[in-house]
Amino acid sequence: MDNYTEMYLDGSDGEKTPSELNDDRENMPLSDYLGPNRNSRKNENNGEIDMLKKILSNTVEIMQSLKGLTSRIEKLEEDNKKMHCRQLTELSMTQKLIKPKKESPILKSPCNSVEEFKKLEDNLMKSPELNEKLEDEIFKHEGTDPSKFVRSMWRKILSDNVASQYSWKGTAKKKAIDIMAVTNAFRGAYNRKFLGSDKEFGRATVKWFQTAKERHSKKKK
């Protein structure tokens, strides 16, 4: 007997009664009751979890890489500091090796004899370079008053005893000082320092040599 015959004999058109439908729902499996939407949400959650795990894993790797880079940068900076210190040390040592020695001054002390003064004059006559050095040496001496500067420098060049045997233009007994190489070097330094004429230089020099014998006599007493 087919289903149609059964339905006819049962007096039913094939539709279930509300009571039967409720019974079917109660006996339905949980998975069928929840439907396909629940499975879809589960799959989406699983995908999101996997993605977050991957992001976390990548973040950990990046942090480890950054830590390694930081250590590398610190090491490079330390190496650079050490290298800079070595370079400064080497430069300092090199400068000490190549630093020219300080030249000995020409006017170490006043000439105390005519022979010593003549030797200085002869050396100046033979060497233009020595003339320039003497001029620079005199120029570097301190002094703001022209007359005082002239007197001070002549005292450094020769003693009163030697100066008493010279005069500005010379005499029968004294040699002329104005034409000597030492005077020319002195005059050059004076003109550079004070930008003046030779007149003041000459007046101060004349007076200093004129009183040389008197100063020497006073020192002997």
Q: pLDDT in tens for each of the 221 residues of the chain?
A: 444 444 444 444 455 565 655 555 555 554 554 555 556 666 777 777 888 888 888 888 888 888 888 888 888 888 887 787 777 777 766 665 665 566 788 888 999 999 999 999 999 999 999 999 999 999 999 888 999 999 999 999 999 999 999 999 999 999 999 999 999 999 999 999 988 667 889 999 999 999 999 998 888 76
Q: Which residues of 126-150 are buried (b: 16+ CB within 10 A; e: fewer)?
A: eeeebbebbbebbbeeebeebeebb
**Residues 172, 184: Cα–Cα separation, whole Å:** 22
Rounded Cα–Cα distance for residues 102 and 109 (Å): 17
Residue type, 210: Q
pLDDT number for residue 127: 92
- Give the per-residue pLDDT at 2: 46
The pLDDT of residue 98 is 61
Q: Residue 104 in contact with residue 155, Cβ under 8 Å?
A: no
Largest Cα separation within the chain, whole Å, is: 178
Helices (H), the chain: 3-10, 18-27, 30-34, 36-98, 114-126, 128-139, 146-157, 160-163, 181-194, 198-210, 212-220
CA distance to 131, 214, 215, per residue, from 210 (Å): 26, 8, 10
Q: Is 0.85 surpassed by the pTM of this model?
A: no
Inter-CA distances, 59 with 45, 49, 55, 63, 71, Å:
21, 15, 6, 6, 18
Distance CA(89)–CA(92), nearest Å, equals 5
Contact 120, 182 (CB under 8 A): yes
| Cβ–Cβ < 8 Å for 146, 157 | no
Length of the chain: 221
Evaluate whether 185 touches 154 at the Cβ level (below 8 Å): no
Half-sphere exposure of residue 219: CA atoms within 13 angstroms, side-chain side: 9
List of residues 6+ apart from 168 with CB closer than 8 A: 176, 177, 178, 202, 205, 206, 209
Distance in angstroms (rounded) separating the CA atoms of residues 133 and 118 = 18
